[in-house]
Structure 1
Amino acid sequence: MGNSRAYPVLRTTDVGEAYRQAKRLRALLELVEDTVWLFAELPTVRDVRQIAALAPGLPFDYADTRTDPATGDYVWFDLDVTALDDAELEEHLPLSFSEDVGRERVEDGILAALGEGMTSIEWHGCWPDDPDADSDGYPKYDGVQVLFHGDEAQYGDWTEEHTVFVHVTKFGDLPRARKLAAHIGSEVLGEAQLGW
């Protein structure tokens, strides 16, 4: 049990650069899952429509907790966003999305789909064993995350910057994180954070 440790290895205001460097790191994974975890905060109708096109048929939810004023029960968003017109959809904003989506679908379309809210892509996989550094890969923990408009692996507050994280074992692996950061011409930019 436990969570990975996420080391920030790049912060930039350039969306394309953050994505390119995340994909360079993803290419170093020995194994990569066929799906990516896609998280998005969706404050606008356009944002919802763009993510719905990337992830057809998958559910959305309210970004903030909502309760029925009469009963106090939680209210879940269970509508098909593609069946709502813009005015109807606007009444339910902001929404959020948090699901596994086909890797190729996301990789091919995410930059065009990015909107005003925070968005995260997580590639789960396994780093190759590195006998020189006495470092083994851990499929449960290893991977790459690019967080657009954020600097906390667990989706903190919105920022202007975009952050790339490398995820390693729950015990941390600073030497591996440093090697991965050096691969993209960077360095580890702070303490390890709680990952997935």
Structure 2
Amino acid sequence: MSHAIAYPVLETRDLTEALDGARRLLRIADLEQAEIWAYARLTTADEVRRMREAIPAAWYARQFDAAQVAGEETCFVEGPDLPIDTAGLAGLLPLEAAVEEMPLRDIPEGFEETFLSAMGAGPGSLAWWWTTWPAVPALGLPPDAKHGEVQIAVNSADLYRQVPADSHTLFVHVRSSQPERAEWLAAQAGLQIIGPGIWDG
């Protein structure tokens, strides 16, 4: 069994800079099987309306914390099924908007910018899964598809949107036994590892 490690390679308050860095990393990879996975925590009715209009493919999950009644289940809702009125939306907040398993070849042009623009100030994530990193003969590394991923943690200091921040961090994910691949990838994209790797199961 193998696992992935995510290495931070850029921290910035400029989402355009983070997206540009992500695209430089993605140009190194084979993207034939790549998918987009996007998440955003929405805390106002206006944010929900903006996301619903901008990203029709998104679905929504109501978030419950430990203080709420045990046994209450998360509510999954498609955008068209959400209430329209402010009071109805407010009763569901916060909501997490999500797009999962969307093949990169099928996404509309400008999807990434549209999603990021539709987000509010809450934490989120934009990730490209199933990227295939190339072989690096000089380092004795074969191609690797299983653990290839590029991720922007938006308004968040961690991979899973649990630690809000006023900056965005770009991560490159590699097989845990191959930290040298992360260093090589960052260098090819004009970036560098800026912190310790984070276990990504």
Cα contact 1:67–1:73 (8 A) shared by 2: no
- Of the structure 1 ranges 75-84 and 9-18, higher mean CA displacement relative to structure 2 is found in 75-84
Q: 1:146 aligns with which of 143, 152, 160?
A: 152
* Correspondence list, 1:32-111, <5 A: 32-56=32-56, 58-65=58-65, 72-82=70-80, 83-85=82-84, 86-100=86-100, 101-103=102-104, 104-105=107-108, 106-107=111-112, 109-111=114-116
| TM-score normalised over the length of structure 1 | 0.85
| TM-score normalised over the length of structure 2 | 0.83
Equivalent position amino acid for 1:155 in 2: R
Q: Which residue of 1 aligns with 2:28?
A: 28
Provide the C-alpha distance between the structure 2 equivalents of 1:183 and 1:68, rounded to a whole number of angstroms: 47
Going from structure 1 to structure 2, the CA distance change for 1:128 and 1:160 (only over 3 Å counts) comes to same
For structure 2, the residue ranges without an aligned partner over 5 or more in a row are none
User: Is residue 131 from structure 1 mapped to residue 137 from structure 2 by the alignment?
Assistant: yes
Between the two proteins, the alignment pairs up a number of residues equal to: 193
Going from structure 1 to structure 2, the CA distance change for 1:17 and 1:32 (only over 3 Å counts) comes to farther
Q: Which residue of 2 aligns with 1:167?
A: 173
By how many angstroms is 1:139 displaced?
Answer: 1.3
User: Is residue 121 from structure 1 mapped to residue 120 from structure 2 by the alignment?
Assistant: no
Q: Which residue of 1 aligns with 2:186?
A: 181
For structure 1, the residue ranges without an aligned partner over 5 or more in a row are none
Equivalent position amino acid for 1:75 in 2: E
Deviations 1:119-149 (A, max 9, x none): 1111121101111111223212112111111
Cα contact 1:28–1:127 (8 A) shared by 2: yes
Q: C-alpha root-mean-square deviation of aligned residues, in Å?
A: 2.4
By how many angstroms is 1:116 displaced?
Answer: 1.3
